[in-house]
Structure 1
Amino acid sequence: ALNALGYTLADRTDRYQEALALLQRAIELLPEDPAVLDSMGWVNYRLGDTDTSLEYLRQAYELNQDPEIVSHLCEVLWEVGLQDEARSIWQKAFDQAPENRHLLRLKDRLQAAPIESD
């Protein structure tokens, strides 16, 4: 319940501090739950703390490559300039779940920009 409410506040409102407080309690109870880690990553992203966000989102992704976790991780990676990594992670997930709404939402954004090569 703490995770669901915290995530909803982080995703659909601007009540980020309230969401963070709920999610901090959730992480104390379930420190290795990928859904809680994902929510903590997302609220930190909304608060503008991309470093902390990536720490939580990478942990969540290591535990569960759920398309929603993938989409959050890819959005933050893209935001911090790691577009190639975002595309790679997204493509792997998209190949396995091409109809997933979270992955489809990112498709145009990730495929629009040219891939940089060295």
Structure 2
Amino acid sequence: MLQGKTCIVVGGAKGTGSHLVEQYAKKGYTVAFMDIDKESSCSLKDKVETEYGGNIFFFHGDANSEEDIELFAGAIIGQYKKIDCLYYRTDIAESANLIAELLYGYLKRDGMIMSYS
């Protein structure tokens, strides 16, 4: 397990996003994800915690809302010292720029920001 590693996924309840959440949790990362689909997100959080014992933070919010992005970023900053990776869906690129700006100072030097579809 990778102690102290943190992965952020914007839009992580279904599809590729949920796969990222699971894969990083399986590797031992702490994972924080945001999604508007509360039911799917809560199911994913429960599944990951049960299967991998991972530390998962779910934030219910709309990735297309500047206010929700700012609240999510604030919650992340309040909980984690450094971020190893940030993933966002390609269809929310404008919002992703905002969260990347807000979290930039918390991204580790060798950290990465990636999009997915």
TM-score relative to the length of structure 2: 0.37
Which protein has the bigger helix share? Answer: 1
Q: Which of structures 1 and 2 has the bigger CA Rg?
A: 1
Highest RCO, 1 vs 2 (Cα 8 Å, sep ≥ 6): 2
